[in-house]
Chains A and B, each alone.
Chain A
């Protein structure tokens, strides 16, 4: 296109010079008069125009078939600090990492294209290039332009497809790397097959742990986005409450209470041994916790009165409001440690009592071995409830992370505008045709002069 403009300029300069030299009249009005004089339309000018149009169409097609670009935008707050969504450092090179390139090649079924070949055809740059040496023009870009220019190896690929595949691959790799893992939420009915060799007490504890996991995860996500609702209308708080209910109602109050009260076990002797061992270990831990509580209490008493005074320091909170902040003193830490130790001791004591009660029930129970159909049925019910809640929790969390992560990276591909290309070709063709017409007029004018 630049070449056409150059040729047009050269022809125009030549024509103006020729007219001036032949007539010895250098005035603009004379040149204008010669150029605008009506002359025969020469066939070669028309042919020249057509050839120019064909060359332009071909070159436009070739250009659009050999290169393209797209913009990848990072839409999360940490991006403005050059960080990933998990606050690790973001590196622009990740956009063209081995993993991304390999994935793009595999997705596009690009046979005969190597990782290096495709990488050589791609360049990534920040859309706004700042200057790290100058504070005023220092800029952290959140937009990156991926430019593709076909080389020998990649010449058969469509540029927009390549850009799209690379951008999508980067998005996938990014989400896989930085999105939350919901594997912990998955609970399939098949998992219950492993319960065959487990004792009822262990099964109940395992199921409790799974219900707790789901509940904790949902509570955490609820803290992150309390207003989120899935397409099925589920919120994290309702799911946390549901899994909490499974834990308290179906497991603690129902299944575990039944097992403990009735002293049910698949192997009574073995279970009694384990309970005794567990209680011994817990008693040991409880003694440690009690000692810790006593030591911390003694330390509190030993703390000098003049060291417990609190200084109030004026400060501002996140909303820029003033408040008087208390300075922490060592006494606070000691009190907290004492309380933690006390709570731990209490908790262990409760567990020991429950185990002891269970052990007593077991000793009183008549059956020593075998399964219990009532407990089996209750376990099936809990498993089914957990399967359902885990599926809902996983789907809701998945939906949440998808909606969030899909917004994290957006891709815009610059498709060549057909209208703009056509307009460009038309304008250049008209310019070229005009230049040829002026050339033909100039030649005619010269002939007339020579004839005179």
Chain B
């Protein structure tokens, strides 16, 4: 059978199938309202079938409406403001937290996002990974955004699973490594190390975790992390981590005064009353089942405040009731 014949056969089959569904649907709808047959003439089985079909159609229509609304709503990001109290801080430290952009575009080279960041006047900008995807068509645009954003305020970046996989596993070409353009853009790339900066009269120690897998974190970075958290206790300790799983494995560990994370995308679909429907580490309806997890928002653990961003991406699966998010954190004595 030639390719042409094959295609025409598929088209015919599809047409037949659509026609059958159309006939069934019209029979269902009209018979259900007693147009062609009276209700008494329908068997119980038929009635149940039509009811099921009608319900399925209604649900399908609702899902399509919700997805359409969500798709439009996700074209813009929301802003979530947090206020974190810390006795160590004099005045106010404003942190803008970006995560999981996945090369999404809010205007040309993310001009809208950049404009808002400028208007918010941050003291520190933190990016907690998965900001860019390897070989994405808009990666160059994201890099241009990085260059501009690094001029707004000191910008600290940690790798997410995407960047990590690319730089350490996939790419063999040195010119394609991600860290080079990041550093060239003026971004402070933190890979299991600490940097200290002064904001107003405050000293801020920022530690960035390279890879947040609980399996090898302590053997790989335990020493430098402990030094960063336990030395100079009067400094404000800020920890950046991509996946928040590590935090849940050691609830009695001191993770810093403020921990910023991302990765979960807030579970992508967020059902009212039930919360996020799925997260691959924490399973189905983790918040509803009260699993110990950090899906999104603000959490308190020991002496640390943990803030998990739902991320800025609007690509891939459509986020429902969970708009892309730009996080703004004010750290002060209140």
Contact = CB atoms under 8 A, between A and B. Distances in A.
A107 B33 CA distance: 58
A111 B334 contact: no
A402 B88 contact: no
Interface in B303-334: 303, 321, 330, 332-334
Contacts of B330: 107, 168
Interface stretch (B13-21, B75-83, B104-112, B175-183): B75-83
Given A158-B78, A171-B334, A231-B303, A41 B29 contact: yes
Contacts, number: 58
Interface residues of A, number: 30
Contacts of A175: 334
Interface of B: 29-30, 33-35, 38-39, 65, 69, 78-79, 81, 83, 85, 87-88, 116, 119-121, 234, 272-273, 303, 321, 330, 332-334
B31 to A, nearest CB: 11
A368 B69 CA distance: 87
A33 to B, nearest CB: 15
Contacts of A41: 29-30, 33, 35
B332 A107 contact: no
Contact of B116 (A57, A109, A172, A417): A109
Contact of B79 (A161, A171, A419): A161
Contacts of B321: 418
A418 B70 CA distance: 13
Contacts of B79: 108, 158, 161
Contacts of A109: 116, 119-121
Nearest to B302: A231
Given A38-B33, A171-B334, A57 B81 contact: no
A61 B30 CA distance: 34
A397 to B, nearest CB: 9
A398 B272 contact: no
Interface string A23-42: 00000000000000011110
Contacts of B332: 172
Contact of B273 (A39, A164, A406, A419): A419
Give the 10 A-B residue pairs with the shortest CB-CB distance, closest first: A398-B87, A109-B119, A38-B34, A109-B120, A419-B272, A418-B272, A41-B33, A395-B87, A111-B119, A172-B334
B88 A395 contact: yes
Interface in A386-429: 391, 394-395, 398-399, 402, 405-406, 417-419
Interface of A: 38-41, 57, 61, 107-109, 111, 158, 161, 164-165, 168, 171-172, 175, 231, 391, 394-395, 398-399, 402, 405-406, 417-419
Nearest to B85: A402
Contact of A168 (B69, B81, B121, B272): B81
Contacts of A38: 33-35, 38-39
A107 B79 CA distance: 12
Nearest to A111: B119
A406 B85 contact: yes
Nearest to B118: A109
Determine which residue in B119, B303, B333 has the highest number of CB atoms from chain A within 10 A of its CB, and name it.
Answer: B333
Given A40-B30, A109-B119, A109-B120, 18 more contacts: A38-B33, A40-B33, A41-B29, A41-B33, A61-B69, A107-B81, A107-B330, A109-B116, A109-B121, A111-B119, A161-B81, A168-B81, A168-B83, A231-B303, A398-B87, A402-B333, A418-B272, A419-B273
Contact of A40 (B35, B78, B83, B116): B35
Nearest to A174: B334
Nearest to B122: A109
A391 B90 CA distance: 13
B320 to A, nearest CB: 10
B147 to A, nearest CB: 21
B103 to A, nearest CB: 25
A405 B333 CA distance: 11
Contacts of B30: 40-41
Determine which residue in B29, B65, B85, B121 has the highest number of CB atoms from chain A within 10 A of its CB, and name it.
Answer: B85
